[in-house]
Amino acid sequence: MISPKAFRQTAVLALWAAGIVLQAAQETIPINEVEEAVPPYTLPEVLTFCDGRRVESARDWTRRRAELLRLFEDHVYGRVPKGLPRAPGRVVETRRDALGGKAVRQRIQVPLTRGPRPVLMDLLVYRPASATGPVPVFLGLNFDGNHTVTVETDIPLARGWVANRPRSGVTNHVAAEASRGTDTAAWPIERILGRGYGLATAYYGDIEADFNGGWRHGLRGTVAGTGPGSRFAPEDWGAISAWSWGLSRALDQLARDPAIDAGKVAVIGHSRLGKTALWTGARDPRFALVIANESGEGGAALARRFFGETTLRINTSFPHWFNGRFKDYNHRVPDLPVDQHELVALVAPRPVYIASAEQDRWADPKGEYLSGWHAGPVYRLLGREGLPGPDLPALNRSVGDSVGYHVRTGAHALTGADWEFYLDFADRHLRRDSR
């Protein structure tokens, strides 16, 4: 019988060898970051049914929307199993003097599965203490734990898997404690509260660990089982759909609180969680506004534009994010029955905001912008306006009406500058009827 020490050594060697193989595979994948080298491409017609009929009315769009949603489920993000529980969460703490009296803070445990050991998502909610009525809220997943997004030091550390901790789940408490407040720049809570909004966030690792095989440590594994015979069908859900499901359950919880305006909740995400936010806004129409910050390939960037990260590269690096069928298009992206402008269009007529960073060429800023631009026909059909034209706007300038966009100076990050654009956009749309 192999000893625990020998098992650990074997596992480390296996991961090391897999990493070498993966790196070698990635290095052979062609990548283009020269605009003049982008080859011609043809996008699917967002207002044309699969059988060739044209969408002529809002009623037609309802049917086309359902068709597109199923195509994205079947070919990209995967189908969520039917009958998953939607149990209410348990409020474990309410503080009315948070952030020096500026906020009411709640911590809520939201069960995502049934059974004696359910998957639990810890939802952290801040709302302005000065509010006299229900407040609109920004809801998003964070990367490293709720304790990293706030200066308050009494938030419990994230449980289980965290990206910079061993995958065994063993917690390095010294490193974990040192990570407190390290992500406050991405989550300017006091600024958000000062503008009259609440903020709700949860750690995405509570829902599912973010590595290939991480499904065994979270929602999908608990639902499907993790035994030797466990496997997913090609159309079954990937990690992005699992994280998205968690966001919808967080919205369920927010809707139970009379201090929150559940009809004015904006879902927001950065990078892979920006992909998640877009997919969540597409599949759950209860979200009033959708924000995708530098979401790139598999998010806002057009798949057919050969620039930056590609379908092949993302499926090689992160095969767990999408369903199995998406890999069929690694070498034949033009055969994919959808592209990301149609994902943006699925949010219509609700407002959507797409953002890029000048140095984040990997995410293809122009491809992100064009996705919003090509969603415009749907917004116009539904009586809304989108982006002003096909050309990227000047740096650090927000453009668009129901489809908003900016590209700012700097690198891949969610910053205070981005939040200023989002807060202004939310003011125009979520507070329009209260002015």
Q: Mean pLDDT check: name the lowest of 15-19, 117-121, 132-136, 270-274.
A: 15-19
Give the pLDDT of residue 15: 44
- Confidence band (pLDDT; 50, 70, 90) for 6? very low
Q: What per-residue confidence (pLDDT) applies to 115?
A: 85
Say what percent of the chain tops pLDDT 70: 90
Please, what is the Cα angle at 310 between 304 and 311, to 5 degrees?
A: 80
Residue 149 in this model has a pLDDT that exceeds 90: yes
Q: What is d(CA 161, CA 108) in angstroms, rounded to the nearest whole number?
A: 20
Query: Is 10 a member of any domain?
Result: no
* φ/ψ bin of 16: left (φ > 0), alpha (ψ from -120 to 50), beta (otherwise): alpha
In a domain, 301, yes or no: yes
Q: What's the confidence (pLDDT) of residue 11?
A: 40
User: Which pLDDT band holds residue 4 (cuts at 50, 70, 90)?
Assistant: very low
Task: Look at residue 169 and tell me whether its pLDDT is greater than 50.
Answer: no
State which residues form the domain around 246: 35-434
Q: Is 317 labeled as catalytic in the residue annotation? A: no
Mean pLDDT across 260-285: 98
DSSP 120-142: EEEEEEEEETT-SS-EEEEEEEE
Residue 18 lies in a domain: no
Sheet strand arrangement including 289-293: 90-97, 103-111, 120-128, 198-203, 135-142, 260-270, 289-293, 352-357, 403-408
Report the predicted TM-score, pTM, of the whole model to 2 decimal places: 0.92
The CB density around residue 255, as the number of other CB atoms within 10 Å, is 14
> Would you say residue 121 has pLDDT above 80?
yes
Q: pLDDT tens-digit profile of 86-95?
A: 999 999 999 9
Confidence of residue 168 (pLDDT cuts 50, 70, 90): very low
Does 339 score more than 80 pLDDT?
A: yes
Please state the separation of Cα 356 from the chain's center in Å: 15
Cα 388 from Cα 404, distance rounded (Å) = 10
Number of domains the chain is built from: 1
4 within domain boundaries: no
Averaged pLDDT, 249-258: 98
Contact present, 265 and 250 (Cβ < 8 Å): no
For residue 433, what pLDDT band results from cuts at 50, 70 and 90? low
Rounded to whole angstroms, what are the CA distances from 197 to 179, 191, 274, 361, 427? 26, 9, 20, 32, 10
The mean of the pLDDT values for the chain is 92
Question: What is the C-alpha separation between 416 and 301, in angstroms, rounded?
Answer: 23
Considering the domain boundaries, does residue 14 fall inside one? no
Q: Which of 179, 241, 244, 271 is catalytic?
A: 271
pLDDT at res. 241: 98
Among residues 74, 23, 19, the alpha carbon closest in space to that of 50 is found at: 74
Active site residue 244: no
Q: CATH number, domain at 39?
A: 3.40.50.1820
Looking at the domain assignment, is residue 228 inside a domain? yes
Model confidence band, residue 346 (pLDDT cutoffs 50, 70, 90): very high
Q: Decide: 155 and 189 in contact? Cβ < 8 Å.
A: no
Look at residue 174 in the predicted model and tell me its pLDDT.
72
Judged against a pLDDT cut of 90, whether residue 18 lies above it is answered with no
Residue 269, domain member (yes or no): yes
Residue 276 lies in a domain: yes
Please give the average per-residue pLDDT across 2-10, as a whole number: 42
Least confident of 90-99, 165-174, 193-202: 165-174
Tokens of 420: 């200023």
CA distance 357 to 142: 19
Give me the mean pLDDT over the 140-161 stretch.
Answer: 95
Task: Please write the tens of the pLDDT for every residue from 351-388.
Answer: 999 999 999 999 999 999 999 999 999 999 999 999 99
**Residues facing 199 on adjacent strands:** 126, 138
Residue 170 has pLDDT above 60, yes or no: no
Spatial contact of 161 and 214, defined as CB atoms under 8 Å apart: yes
